[in-house]
Structure 1
Amino acid sequence: MSRPYVLLSAAVSLDGCLDDTGPRRLLLSGPEDFDQVDAERAASDAILVGAGTLRADRPRLLVGSARRRAERAAAGRPEFPLKVAVSGGGDLDGADPFWTTGGERLLYTTDEGARLARARLGGAAGVVALGPAVAWAALLDDLGARGVRRLMVEGGARVHTQLLQLGLADELRLAVAPLVVGEADAPRLFGPGAYPGGPRGRMRVLGTGRVGDVIVTRYAPTAPGTDAAATAADRHWLRTACELAERCPPSETAFSVGAVIVAADGAELARGHSREAGDPVVHAEEAALAKLPAGEPRLAGATVYSSLEPCARRASRPKPCARLIVDAGVRRVVTAWREPDTFVPGADGIGVLAGAGVVVAEVPELAVAAVRPNRHLVPAGTGGA
């Protein structure tokens, strides 16, 4: 079972506050950032908030853009993402717009909270009891089983803090407004406690830019150089590679594979997928590498993310992808699924890479996603499916 990719999204002041102590909500973002947040919602399968945010902000958590809703519908997705709330006690207002506006709703709570929540909400939402306490790992497992592949978390501070401290967040999108709240009692984004990497741990910057008058930065919330840091970034890019594999024209004689090449600073260099641009025999890694100039210096510190183990032997080209990667100077590869014996018995692309000094990491929890566009080629149960 694959848990969803977890994106934490928040806006803060320069001194790290989510709000001031006044009776009205402090708006930290502007229209340009609100539009980007709307795009993030449209790209997500589910949006989650805690009970405190429901009571304080009464959010609807809808996709505002009619164009984005139409695009979701055209892709066979619900018009709105699944709306998810978390409440230990279940003491919620069924008249809150979260429960009365568009989209399917789901509440995670405790066994005791479930009884009260069902009475308060009626049929406005599905209620999932997680036992005597709300366990975040179990919650994410349940969402993954429901087909949620990307989860956007919009608050509040307690929810963000717990997910980050437990190492369950894959990415943080932080909008910083050009103002200082300056109030000692104002709510802040993260609470005290132990975080991955410790007090000296540094997050990895995935990207930054100006959006209106705020600065938006995206982080992998773990420290570079640690196993946990690699896992957070690897899951993001490898999931992207698996999504690219879904775009491959179907074939009865070749696998559908996606690949992304990412520089050491987290910038995407190139991407590709099998049979791209009408070429019936091009492989994903080959297609991605071909988009970069020969001798590209950033390849030496880059990582190739491939949904399937790079091939060790092939008849359609002079060089297999494992050798192309080595010759390009790439020193690290991350993959989700080892190549089965369907077409090339005994293939060992990982062995070829490792023999050339390339570090190879496997993320087997994403094997199901890698296998999905290849179900017609492999036995049932392959990859944990």
Structure 2
Amino acid sequence: MTPEPPPTRPFVLISAAMSVDGHIDDTSPERLLLSCAEDFDRVDALRAECDAILVGAGTLRADDPRLEVRGAARREARVARGLPEHLLKVVLAGHGGLSAELRLWHSGGPKLVLAPDAAVPGLRAELGALAEVVGTGVELDPARALDALAARGVRRLMVEGGGAIQSLFLTAGLVDEIQLAVAPFFVGEAAAPRFAPAVGKPFPQDAAHRMTLLGAEPLGDMVVLRYAARRADASRVTAADLGWMRVAIDLSRQCPPSESAYSVGAVVVAADGTEIARGFSRESGDDKVHAEESALGKIDLADPRLRTATIYSTLEPCSVRASRPSPCAELIRSAGIGRVVLAWREPALFVADCQGVELLEQSGATVVETPTLAEEARAVNAHLV
């Protein structure tokens, strides 16, 4: 039997606020408030969209946070969507020394502590039934931490700090997005904690590998910068890719029958695994509409998520159209989608030499094929091929 693929690791979002000179706190004993009221509300909304929230033990000791979704309406909306009212609250600890009196342990929702194996017995003795404690090997391994969260059904993780934890995930190449709120003042203390300080390991996001700016939003007297941070191998087929391609194949089965056109399904998916739109050939009774065209027609093309999204299509996007001004390959390029996953190439039945893949690759897109699902996608069109 073919073994089941391991659960997909969570989408990792770093959320942080810093001063203009890059500090996330000052050296005073009181916590420095960097965010404005509007930004606190934004962060609460972000939390409500996640499955888990993670901080380091140092942040837990210094700030004693509850890590709650504060808005009651947002918690109710989570329950209405079938999610737990409270997030899974995760602490990364390099060693023991986590007081059982900290407010986190007595707030809502389950708690998980991830630590090097050597620290696990002491932490279990300190915390008892207040939290589950799991080892990550000899070191505090962020990749194994994500595997542990994936096994618990976490799909979207929010990392809130502190700086060392931010650097731990960033230097490991495990961060998908950064949302960085910049406060309009200087801390001016060299010893003050910084956002993502140097930890002796290189950051994948260096001057030669710049991050993609997803947006810059004024908020109160601050500005929130959003960056796509991960430098993943876009040409690798993942378990998530196969899952979304099966969704597209199911969509292709919904196509009205035709003797002169293929039945195709398409899905556009954001980098965090959120579905943006879907479509299928001849949807809504239009005999000429293609699957990719149908899906893209439902999208606001100003949506910044498209820059890092993937479109899944059961058939190679067309390179020529007689019935429309632009073929689907051009529509994908115009939407700014840089990754295309397809199940099979278009055979020379209606078009002698489809050049959809070539056109997309010439525009800079990464095109990936899923040969393990090609036969399943072709079977939908067995009467034609």
Q: Same fold (TM over 0.5)?
A: yes
1:54 partnered with 2:60: yes
Shift of 1:147: 1.8
1:309 partnered with 2:308: no
Segment of structure 1 superposing worse, 201-210 or 5-14: 201-210
1:162 partnered with 2:172: no
1:218 corresponds to? 226
Quickly say closer, same or farther: Cα 1:94–1:75, change in 2 above 3 A: same
| Contact in 2 for aligned 1:257/1:283 (Cα 8 Å) | no
| Contact in 1 for aligned 2:244/2:267 (Cα 8 Å) | yes
Q: How many residues align structurally?
A: 338
SS in 2 for 1:85: strand
2:284 corresponds to? 279
Counterpart of 2:267, as a letter, is G
Shift of 1:353: 2.2
Segment of structure 1 superposing worse, 303-312 or 206-215: 303-312
Given the alignment, which residue of 143, 154, 159 partners 2:149? 143
Structural RMSD (CA):
4.4
Quickly say closer, same or farther: Cα 1:231–1:153, change in 2 above 3 A: farther
Quickly say closer, same or farther: Cα 1:54–1:362, change in 2 above 3 A: farther
Match runs of 1:194-273 below 5 Å: 194-199=202-207, 201-221=209-229, 228=231, 231=234, 253=254, 257-259=266-268, 272-273=277-278
Shift of 1:305: 4.2
Percent identity for Structure 1 against Structure 2: 39
| Contact in 1 for aligned 2:12/2:175 (Cα 8 Å) | yes
Match runs of 1:1-385 below 5 Å: 1=6, 2-192=8-198, 193=200, 194-199=202-207, 201-221=209-229, 228=231, 231=234, 253=254, 257-259=266-268, 272-274=277-279, 279=284, 285-290=292-297, 305-312=309-316, 323-326=327-330, 330=334, 333-336=338-341, 338-339=342-343, 352-356=355-359, 358=361, 359-361=364-366
Quickly say closer, same or farther: Cα 1:117–1:377, change in 2 above 3 A: farther
In 1, distance between residues paired with 2:332 and 2:21? 45
Q: Deviations over 1:5-38 (max 9, x none)?
A: 1111111111111111111101000111000000
Q: Deviations over 1:147-180 (max 9, x none)?
A: 2111110000000011111211111111111111
In 2, distance between residues paired with 1:124 and 1:362? 47
SS in 2 for 1:285: helix
Counterpart of 1:186, as a letter, is A
Shift of 1:96: 0.9
Structure 2, unmatched stretches of 5+, are: 1-5, 256-263, 379-385
In 1, distance between residues paired with 2:161 and 2:207? 23
In 2, distance between residues paired with 1:328 and 1:49? 38
Shift of 1:142: 2.1
In 1, distance between residues paired with 2:181 and 2:50? 18
Shift of 1:91: 2.4
Which has the higher Rg, Structure 1 or Structure 2? 2
In 2, distance between residues paired with 1:126 and 1:29? 31
1:382 corresponds to? none
Quickly say closer, same or farther: Cα 1:221–1:250, change in 2 above 3 A: closer
| Contact in 1 for aligned 2:329/2:359 (Cα 8 Å) | no
In 2, distance between residues paired with 1:18 and 1:170? 21
Counterpart of 2:128, as a letter, is G
